[in-house]
A = this chain, B = another copy of it.
């Protein structure tokens, strides 16, 4: 395994300007190494990374390749994604922070190149970011189409009106469901089969708020307009129907408090009930 040992993670200087440029250098560097080791990957590496000039162009190519279906071809997808990334430069910075978060928190991941190419959690959140921009432009139908394609391709169903911060790790991703009025702050880690769902038929705010630093275990269902406090931990398969205080761990069906939580569960990724 030593050949796959982690390189020193980049120190992200928050005061500095563009994380996406820093990430892009890392991606290109690792793409060239990968090309030498595995010539069979050259098609993907050249199309998505080595023939591109910046992270945004790489994202355009990567998402359009993945989402291409009979409903929307790569030809249809690329102009829309490019338009969104050009119109709002924050989007690419959020994607860059997601890549850094994944490389930092996932022990099976050794470079942002891996999620950029292969992790459907990253692809699904990035697709949501495009759909969310379309929704903000009141292009509702096209936003719904991106949501629909994401649900088909990744098994991830995020309503384009939901609000999601940066530094998100969505691990494995299959079955992730997020409702229309849900809010997720920065630096949150979420395992697969998690639901941030609504209740009832009213159309006001009816989905959860997840504060920063939270870790949500696989299979957890959080339902209704509840707030998961900062740095709380939701154990796997919990059903959460009430607010969760910051820095606490909840578990069970329905979920009850079982302990306090580590400084930042989202960064530790510790799934145990007693941290």
Contact = CB atoms under 8 A, between A and B. Distances in A.
Given A107-B201, A221-B236, A273 B118 contact: no
Count copies of this chain in the complex: 6
B65 A75 contact: yes
Contact of A271 (B157, B198, B269): B198
Contact of A151 (B142, B174, B177, B179): B174
A245 interface: no
Contacts of A37: 139-141
A197 B201 contact: no
Nearest to A64: B70
Interface string A194-206: 0101111111001
A239 B239 contact: no
A25 interface: no
Contact of A107 (B51, B107, B198): B198
A138 interface: yes
A39 B41 contact: no
Given A119-B148, A151-B174, A202 B47 contact: no
A223 interface: yes
Given A43-B43, A223-B271, A218 B241 contact: no
A268 B198 CA distance: 12
Interface in A257-275: 268-273
A165 B236 CA distance: 27
A174 B172 contact: no
A88 interface: no
A197 B191 contact: yes
B195 A218 contact: yes
Given A151-B172, A175-B192, A199-B271, A42 B39 contact: yes
Contacts of A272: 199, 223-224, 241
Given A39-B39, A157-B172, A118 B147 contact: yes
B200 A269 contact: yes
Contact of A41 (B105, B145, B199, B273): B145
B193 A83 contact: no
Interface in A169-228: 172-175, 177, 179-180, 191-193, 195, 197-203, 206, 217-219, 221, 223-224
